[in-house]
Amino acid sequence: MEPRESVAAVGSAEAPKVHAKSGVRLVDKEARPRTLVRVGSATVGAGLCVIAGPCSVESEEQLLETARAVKRAGADLLRGGAFKPRTSPYDFQGLGLEGLRLLAAAGRETGLPVVTEVMDPRDVSWVADHADLLQIGARNMQNFTLLKEVGRCPRPVLLKRGMQATLDEWLLCAEYILAEGNPNVILCERGIRTFERYTRNTLDLSAAAAVLERSHLPVIVDPTHGTGRASLVLPMSLAAVAAGAHGLMIEVHRRPAEALSDAEQALTPEQFGTLMVRVRGLAAFMGAGAAEREGGR
């Protein structure tokens, strides 16, 4: 994993928010060519990028065992929550700063860039000292103060879609980050709340495809939160790749039954290994098909 640069502000109060004559927003497809976001040794937007790891950092042993397993299976980035927004105030909230230190150490050992959630504008600079990619969770998608703060930070940002957000609302939240001067934004579809109760959320793959039509930003899919069921993660991962997503975000735990959060949706390392073989195979097939079609023109 490459050394992390300084986290000095990069934004500008004079950054243009809309192209003066055309009215094109910074987030719109017409604003610039397809964005590729570099995160350490990984690039999001070219090929298939897979982010994997536990929902929350629970201990050094738990994190390292899981990190080594996802690395062996071919993951590109390591995820893990040091701060966990939970519906109940009595549920496990994460290890905080100690969790960040453990994540950074696991990243150094495995060579995987680290992604973790930041929840408070006041925490952005020191979370950025430990992480390579800053995640804005679904509950904070419209925390505009937080969006502006990460927009002034040189770290790339992973912006999850709010659980009841429209496509336009999601893109406008990305616009907040871009308008502050940070061009490195990755959008993440993670399911929306509907009347369906069998799944935790309803994974909206049409939104991922729509982003490709509307914006130059890369889009990834989180089938773990999108379904809330480990048994559905593989088929929805394949569907996301088929829909054109630039990547996946998958929860993996060394022993899911013992997980302190989201135990029912995490994959075992063995299940994740199987998933990686399948999604890489599909991505290669689709890439070969696209090259063949281009060559036939």
The first and second tokens of residue 168, run together, are 């336009």
Residues 226, 76, 210, CA angle at the centre, nearest 5°? 45
More confident residue, 96 or 141: 141
Longest dimension (CA), the chain: 60
Contact 46, 139 (CB under 8 A): no
- Strand pairing of 157-160 and 133-136? parallel
pLDDT of residue 21: 45
pLDDT at residue 168 greater than cutoff 80: yes
DSSP conformation class of 163? T
Least confident span in 88-102, 216-230, 242-256, 274-288:
88-102
Q: What is the mean pLDDT of residues 50-66?
A: 95
Q: Other C-beta atoms within 10 Å of 60: how many?
A: 15
Mark out the alpha helices in the chain (DSSP H runs): 60-73, 97-110, 124-128, 144-151, 167-179, 205-214, 223-227, 230-242, 269-295
CA 77: distance to chain centroid? 10
CATH architecture of 29-289: Alpha-Beta Barrel (3.20)
Interatomic CA distance for residues 93 and 102, integer angstroms: 16
9-46 burial: b if 16+ Cβ within 10 Å, else e? ebbeeeeeeeeeeeeebbbbeebeeebebebbebebbe
pLDDT at residue 288 greater than cutoff 80: no
pLDDT at residue 235 greater than cutoff 50: yes
pLDDT grade for 93, boundaries at 50, 70 and 90: low
**The total number of residues written for the chain in this structure:** 297
Region of residue 124 (left: phi > 0; alpha: psi -120 to 50; beta: else): alpha
pLDDT at residue 40 greater than cutoff 80: yes
Residue with tokens 């990619």: 133
pLDDT grade for 268, boundaries at 50, 70 and 90: very high
Contact 239, 205 (CB under 8 A): yes
pLDDT grade for 297, boundaries at 50, 70 and 90: low
| Residue 222: closest CA among 197, 247, 243 | 247
**So where are the chain's domains?**
29-289
Interatomic CA distance for residues 72 and 163, integer angstroms: 32
CA distances (Å), origin 20, targets 11, 16, 29: 19, 8, 16
Interatomic CA distance for residues 69 and 201, integer angstroms: 27
Find residue 115's DSSP bridge partners.
Answer: 79, 133
The first and second tokens of residue 103, run together, are 């994540």
Interatomic CA distance for residues 72 and 127, integer angstroms: 26
pLDDT of residue 113: 98
pLDDT of residue 1: 53
Chain segment 199-229, per-residue pLDDT in tens? 999 999 999 999 999 999 999 999 999 999 9
pLDDT of residue 260: 86
pLDDT at residue 191 greater than cutoff 90: yes
pLDDT grade for 19, boundaries at 50, 70 and 90: low
Contact 203, 227 (CB under 8 A): yes
Interatomic CA distance for residues 39 and 51, integer angstroms: 11
